[in-house]
Amino acid sequence: MLEKDVKVQLKEEILDILGICINCRFCFPSCPRFDITIGENSCGGSGLTRSLYYAIKWDMKDKASLTELRDLLYSCMTCKNCEVACKKLSTATKLLDAIEKGKQLLLEEMIGPMPDQKRALASLEKYGNPYGMAPSERKEWMQGLSAPRFSKEMDVLFYVGCTAPHDPMVARMAKAIVALLEKANVKFGIIEDEICCGNPSLSMGERLLFEDISAKNLDRFKSLGVKHIVTLSPHCFDTFMNRYPEESMQGIKVQHYTQFLADLIDRKALVFKKKIEATAVYQDPCYLGRHNEVYDAPRKVLHNIPGIKLVEFNKSKVDSVCCGGGGGRMFADFESETDRIANLRVKEALGIGTGMVVTACPWCLINMVDGVKSVNVEDKLAVKDLAELCLEAL
């Protein structure tokens, strides 16, 4: 019997998922895009997915309609706010699963991804990262760094991810984690020629590329005898935890660096002695918080830094607002948006009287720093990565 056509199968799966959506629109106010567009019905979780649903039901084939659908689906930040609202108030529809499959379908139709994202996917396939870095360039961030190369006798693999080698600001995050692990006498190493976890390919609808990348990583982890991975990025953490085959990841513990730092504090392997007098607010990364319910570990670390007074955004933890970087959006811009989510978040931080935003995600850091610059409040609001803050407090 012939296997079902990929496009037919994707359409059936999408309709199955969205068949239980009653279009109640309770998810609309929770979508961050609703605050940075003119509030069209097509914005918001059910707005995006109803557009997808009827495009399939009505068998739309004209390029203009499918391109409009592409612009809608790829604008989604995959922050999961809509699903939280749907589970709490309505039918618990897996809206993000439908959106991801919709992107895969548009890729099959040769409509997706967004034009700028095509370069990122080509780079992933050619170089193993979405930033166009040749392997020789990728190693430059490690100059002057004493981090050992991972070997079987080591306890922890520090998985750096793609953004630190590309962005000097994020490279400082990675270097701070290396310094903290060394200070705590952790037997750890890094993979010098590490490749992407595959998250961007999933976010942009390229499932086959993700499967190829994940297979390469799993083979590498197995050959190196990896038993414990600590990631810099929440997106890598989520990908290893939830998107790699469970049976292939058996025997490998995965933690985000905030969780590992919290464990080191519990064991008294890290003790902060320097006082940092600051009122700080923590920006929950979506893929650490809502996607994986890691809220306490980063706050525990902050509470252990002398002098830090932690306050909360009006919307925090499960209700936290995305920085705008998820869903492949770090590789594309969207003309329909009248503002940037990070700019609104910066204004909210100023409104609650804090002088520092702390986060634990490379993309949150980049977007929040850009937000501070865009709002022109660099003299009033600092943006810090949690690992760098910890290093200052040693």
Q: Quote the CA–CA distance of 83 and 241 in Å, as a whole number.
A: 19
At 2 the pLDDT is: 45
Indicate whether 260 and 141 sit together in one domain. Answer: yes
Indicate whether 35 and 148 sit together in one domain. Answer: no
Residues spanned by the domain of 99: 6-112
Indicate whether 276 and 182 sit together in one domain. Answer: no
384 pairs with which residues across the strands? 358
CB 365 within 8 A of CB 173: yes
Q: CA gyration radius for the chain? A: 21
The whole-chain average pLDDT of the chain stands at 94
The region that residue 260 occupies, defined by phi over 0 for left and psi between -120 and 50 for alpha, beta otherwise, is: alpha
- Predicted TM-score (pTM) of the model is 0.96
Beta strand 156-159 pairing with 188-189? parallel
pLDDT band at 223 (very low <50, low <70, confident <90, very high): very high
Indicate whether 38 and 67 sit together in one domain. Answer: yes
Q: Which residue has the higher pLDDT, 23 or 311?
A: 311
User: With 60 as the cut, is the pLDDT of residue 198 above it?
Assistant: yes
Residue 1 forms part of a structural domain: no
Indicate whether 124 and 260 sit together in one domain. Answer: yes
Q: Is-cis flag, bond preceding 113, omega within 30?
A: yes
Domain final position from 44, 78, 112? 112
DSSP letter, residue 230:
E
At 88 the pLDDT is: 95
Q: Quote the CA–CA distance of 93 and 266 in Å, as a whole number.
A: 38
User: With 50 as the cut, is the pLDDT of residue 34 above it?
Assistant: yes
Q: Is the dihedral of CA 145, 172, 167, 359 positive or negative?
A: positive
Residue 132 forms part of a structural domain: yes
Domain final position from 112, 133, 162? 112
At 287 the pLDDT is: 98
Residue 229 forms part of a structural domain: yes
CATH number at residue 17: 1.10.1060
Calculate the alpha carbon distances from 164 to 14, 116, 151, 362 in Å: 35, 21, 22, 8
Q: Tokens 């995050």 sit at which residue?
A: 173
Q: Is the dihedral of CA 242, 179, 162, 138 positive or negative?
A: negative
Q: Quote the CA–CA distance of 218 and 223 in Å, as a whole number.
A: 9
Q: Tokens 């499959």 sit at which residue?
A: 101
Indicate whether 197 and 313 sit together in one domain. Answer: no
Domain final position from 265, 283, 314? 265
Indicate whether 77 and 120 sit together in one domain. Answer: no
- Per-residue pLDDT averaged across 285-311, rounded? 98
Indicate whether 380 and 360 sit together in one domain. Answer: yes
Residue 182 forms part of a structural domain: yes
User: With 70 as the cut, is the pLDDT of residue 1 above it?
Assistant: no
Overall number of domains in the chain: 3
CATH number at residue 120: 3.40.50
At 45 the pLDDT is: 84
Indicate whether 123 and 260 sit together in one domain. Answer: yes
Calculate the alpha carbon distances from 268 to 182, 184, 232, 264, 272 in Å: 14, 9, 22, 6, 10
CATH number at residue 338: 3.40.50.10700
User: With 70 as the cut, is the pLDDT of residue 3 above it?
Assistant: no
Indicate whether 85 and 172 sit together in one domain. Answer: no
Rounded to the nearest 10 degrees, the angle between the axes of helix 168-183 and helix 257-266 is 20
Tens digit of each residue's pLDDT (9 = 90 or more) over 304-331: 999 999 999 999 999 999 999 999 999 9
DSSP letter, residue 332:
-
Indicate whether 139 and 167 sit together in one domain. Answer: yes
Indicate whether 184 and 88 sit together in one domain. Answer: no
